[in-house]
Amino acid sequence: MPGFEIFGDEERKEVNEVLETGVLFRYGFEGARKGRFKALEFEKKLADITGTGFAHLCSSGTAALCTALAACGIGAGDEVIIPGFTFVATFEAVIQAGAVPVFGEIDETLCLNPDRLEDVVSSRTRAVVPVHMCGSMARIDEIKDFCDKKELILLEDACQSLGATYKGKALGSFGLAGCFSFDAVKTVTCGEGGGIITSDPKVYQRCDQFADHGHDHLGGPDRGADDHPIMGTNYRISELNAAVGLAQLKKLDKIVEIQRKNKLAIRDAMADLPGVSFRYVPDPFGDSATFLSFMLPDEKTARQTARNLAENGAPCPYWYDNNWHYYKKWHHLLEMKRSAKLAFELAKDLPDYKNLVLEESDEVMKRTLSMQIMLNWTEADIEQRIRAVQKSIC
């Protein structure tokens, strides 16, 4: 991770094929494009890889989340349960839908704890969005069972976990829809891009329409002949971005294989270090291995270890202090700083974000460090990392 580490002739070939036609727009221009539809080809391959019926590309992972929420019917006043450890895009998308983010606890999977979902369900809850963080999975079977029992929509944020599976089934394919990100630092990159997978034809149809101003795409070469069954917005991906991602997607098996090999080498070397435990991975064989996440005995030790690792040339994110991924630092949300009144403010009994405390999540995150696993590491690089870790943890 990330895919840009292995850019090569494959990406250049796909991009050049687009440039040769001069058609950068994903729709229409059939005469000029010479049968080349990179976004469509990407979508078919993504659906095939994930074992789903349909896939739709968007301009970003955030756009994918916004589109999927709309396609699943999530709207004004609906409550949506999400974790406090995610990227800000998760709650941004919920708010953009006019819905209300409600935060649930995580456990040592670093994902939503299904045992604590009952604590935050209300009569207004419409959906649960587990986020498969750092390349691995939530206890997704238990979360799905909970959603089925409560008749809630399950929408998976798998933006960080392309290539990961649970019991052989692709993450993102357990719910009504699943979302991926293909931005600059993801396992597969388009530069900017995102995708939605679903096996529900109606959800796919609404995604296809919503992300392109409501076009039904039934007018053929004349976009002006399209009807507009619903209102939408512009979340389209370009053919250039899709071309880069298509070449990358064809390398996914190789990428995951390298990540797993590199992660295992470092994990094995850490196995007997004092005070170290590892993130709980419900299905180790399905881990895409983008990060090696490990816990120290307490916050003080974790902070000192993070400093030691940085000094020894092996920096690891300490998520508890992270501005973008943990709720403690989301001051813009906690203090409701925004450019205009939000639709969800019209709902009654809004959560008190300013005083939000997730005690169980804090206890996990205070102790957690994550090492990003890179694709271009040599054996010497891995040995250097192992020495740095052994020197830093004592």
Q: What is the DSSP string of 251-308?
A: THHHHHHHHHHHHHHHHHHHTTSTT-EE---S-GGG---SEEEEE-SSHHHHHHHHHH
Model pLDDT, residue 220: 87
Domain-ending residue, one of 227, 251, 275: 251
Domain-ending residue, one of 228, 251, 274: 251
pLDDT tens track, the chain, 394 positions: 778 899 999 999 999 999 999 999 999 999 999 999 999 999 999 999 999 999 999 999 999 999 999 999 999 989 999 999 999 999 999 999 999 999 999 999 999 999 999 999 999 999 999 999 999 999 999 999 999 999 999 999 999 999 999 999 999 999 999 999 999 999 999 999 999 999 999 999 999 999 999 999 999 888 999 999 999 999 999 999 999 999 999 999 999 999 999 999 999 999 999 999 999 999 999 999 999 999 999 999 999 999 999 999 999 999 999 999 999 999 999 988 888 888 777 777 788 999 999 999 999 999 999 999 999 999 999 999 999 999 999 6
Helix (H, G, I), strand (E, B) or coil at 335: coil
Structural domain harbouring 147? 3-251
CATH number of the structural domain spanning residue 302 = 3.90.1150.10
**Do 315 and 322 contact (CB within 8 A), yes or no?**
no
**Do 163 and 250 contact (CB within 8 A), yes or no?**
no
- Are 283 and 293 part of one and the same domain? yes
Taking the C-alpha atoms of residue 109 and residue 215, their distance in angstroms, rounded to an integer, is 40
Model pLDDT, residue 153: 98
- Are 98 and 7 part of one and the same domain? yes
The dihedral built from the CA positions of residue 276, 323, 103 and 204, taken in this order, carries a sign that is negative
**Do 11 and 42 contact (CB within 8 A), yes or no?**
no
Model pLDDT, residue 66: 98
- Are 218 and 268 part of one and the same domain? no
**Do 292 and 386 contact (CB within 8 A), yes or no?**
no
Show the DSSP H helices in 97-168 as ranges. 140-150
Question: 10 Å Cβ neighbour count for 272?
Answer: 7
**Structurally, how many domains does the chain consist of?**
2
- What's the whole-model pTM score? 0.97
Model pLDDT, residue 336: 86
Domain-ending residue, one of 229, 251, 273: 251
Model pLDDT, residue 303: 98
Residue identified by tokens 């349960």 is 81
Model pLDDT, residue 275: 96
Contacts of 290 (CB under 8 A, 6+ apart): 1, 134, 135, 160, 161, 187, 259, 372, 373
Calculate Rg over the CA atoms of the chain.
Answer: 21
CATH number of the structural domain spanning residue 42 = 3.40.640.10
The residue type found at 264 is: L
Model pLDDT, residue 156: 98
- Are 62 and 211 part of one and the same domain? yes
